[in-house]
Amino acid sequence: MITKLDAIDLKILQILQKSGRMTNVDLAKLVGISAPPCLRRLKNLEDAGIIMGYQAQINPKSLSYNITLFAHVGLKENSEAQLSAFEKAMQNIDLVRECYRISGEDDFLLKIVAQDFEHYQNVLSKTLLNLSNVERVQTTIVMGNAKSEPGIPVATYEEAA
């Protein structure tokens, strides 16, 4: 297990967060070490749960997901059992891409993708609004995206540590 990340570990994380598809040899060159220790460090970062996985970023419009929406969801009851049941239900709705339990007036914030607004309304009426504990859903349609930066700001980790 990794207890403290050094500059090389942080550089590995920074590079992979921007381009997770590179070979270990290319990664090793960029961080300035040979391939075998780079691979060991990478394996340690994975084993420690710091690197949780690798994925492709897909252009939503290329698969006809033309709108992104955020939905604030308020539940009728806020018991742990009801909150957990809602979270479990969200796992089964593919259009819900992210589900956050939040504080404040609402209980959850959902990031949803859909082909169009009609598609979203159809899913909303057949899924979210059919859940017995849902009291309200307020939807905001994303009109544009000025910034979408995946991951976390690795460069500032050393400053905070």
In this prediction, residues 138-160 reach a mean pLDDT of: 82
**DSSP labels for 51-64?**
S--------GGGGT
Residue 123 confidence (pLDDT):
85
Residue 160 confidence (pLDDT):
46
List CB contacts of 15: < 8 A, sequence separation 6 or more: 22, 27, 30, 31
Identify the residue with better confidence: 160 or 102: 102
At residue 159, does pLDDT exceed 80?
no
Distances (CA, A) of 151 to 28, 55, 117, 132: 21, 12, 28, 34
Q: Which two tokens stand for residue 130?
A: 């059919």
Residue 157 confidence (pLDDT):
65
Give the DSSP letter of residue 130: G
Is the CA virtual torsion 135, 141, 146, 151 positive or negative?
Answer: positive
Domains, the chain: 7-56 (1.10.10.10), 60-141 (3.30.70.920)
Residue 124 confidence (pLDDT):
85
In this prediction, residues 12-33 reach a mean pLDDT of: 94
Residue 3 confidence (pLDDT):
65
Identify the residue with better confidence: 70 or 123: 70
Percent of the chain with pLDDT over 90: 78
Among candidate residues 81, 68, 62, 65, the one with its CA nearest the CA of residue 133: 81
